[in-house]
Amino acid sequence: MTDPLASTPAEDGFAMPAEGAPHRGCFMIWPERPDNWRLGAGPARAAFAAVAHAIAETEPVTMIVSAAARESARALLSPAIRLVEAATDDAWCRDTGPTFVTDAAGRLRGVDWRFNAWGGFDGGLYAPWAQDDRLAEIILAGEDVPRYRAGFVLEGGAIHVDGDGTALVTEACLLSNNRNPGMDRAAIETALRAYLGVSTVIWLGAGVVEDETGGHVDNLACFARPGLVVLAGCDDPADPQYEVTHDAKARLAAARDARGRPIEVATLPMPGPLFMTAEEASGLDASNGAGMARGAGQRLAASYVNHYLANGRVVMPLLDPATDEDAAALLARLHPDRRVAGIPAREILLGGGNIHCITQQMPAGTPG
């Protein structure tokens, strides 16, 4: 391992590019925890493999896998998917892997955020989390990519950028006392500008209802391109998601991005609401963290916003036959240069996230 850089990305002229910019590859983690992935993670592994194969058709995929689970990964994954051995605490590469940044010369570096399992001992989902906190450093060292080590807690799913100077976040997550209790809104904005290379931060309020990350923005809203945000919709006033969605619309209507543009909003349908069944809950081991308790009737934080923009492709979750087709059609209109690939993703959703949560893009660039 190498020492982290003493500067910040912004000081060095680096910034996080938009997810839709060209990728050098994608990282994922093979699921394993029996208290989060039912039936010994077998159904989840099939779903992860389907996502990996869809992405691997257009960009290289690297799967992080433990020594104990390597054989199961190799049996289900194409030889084209590279396996890299490392120990992890769970399988959310968006949050535990590095966030990559680039500069105008095409150089590539990575940000290693501090990670505390979405809240540490005050509402976090599991303990220990030390292996997950080390993962970004391991990935960057393996790729020979220089590393910035942030001095504060953040997860990759808690941020979204347009690649043109604007970041999108939620108050529910970034202002929570279980992440960075010594940092107020101004301090967090300063840190985001330093490590993402942005100049403007747009704050939404709450996240998707029952999102156990504390309200990650990548489940609620994302940039399709600068000036255009895709939002998880809800048309039922009796659903608690209705108020969240309409508050987000109001905030976006009042916002301007880093270039002074108003924000256009495209609304994806909300699947369900969906709930964990008794059969699904019965396939889980008892959890060692109260924050990750699973049970029959638990509402699942389902959202089509939780998709991945691969090179030439939108990899989206299929969650509800009543809304899958409409969601796919809207994503196709928003990304006419990409083919939409729908992946049955309920098994990923049962673990607490979806396709965007289990992937982490590495943008095109040369390490340096």
CA separation for the pair 332, 224 (Å, rounded): 11
Weakly modelled stretches of the chain, pLDDT under 70: 288-290
Q: Are strands 299-300 and 274-275 parallel, antiparallel or unpaired?
A: antiparallel
CA separation for the pair 209, 302 (Å, rounded): 9
Enumerate the β-bridge partners of residue 366.
Answer: 107
The model's pTM is 0.97
- The answer to whether the CB of 107 falls within 8 A of the CB of 77 is no
Residue 289: predicted pLDDT: 61
Q: Which of 350, 352, 355, 348 is nearest to 279 (CA)?
A: 350
pLDDT tens-digit readout, 274-308 = 999 999 999 999 876 667 888 999 999 999 999 99
357 catalytically annotated = yes
- Name all domains of the chain by residue range, CATH numbers in brackets: 9-288+295-367 (3.75.10.10)
Q: Is 130 helix (H, G, I), strand (E, B) or coil?
A: helix
CB atoms within 10 A of CB 85: 12
CA separation for the pair 95, 368 (Å, rounded): 23
Q: Residue 104 is encoded by which pair of tokens?
A: 């105008």
Residue 293: predicted pLDDT: 80
Q: Which of 35, 152, 23, 32 is nearest to 86 (CA)?
A: 32
Residue 292: predicted pLDDT: 81
Enumerate the β-bridge partners of residue 111.
Answer: 99, 148
**Residue 155: φ, ψ to 5°:** -115, 150
Annotated catalytic residue, options 26, 222, 234, 357? 357
Residue 294: predicted pLDDT: 87
Q: Residue 55 is encoded by which pair of tokens?
A: 């992405």
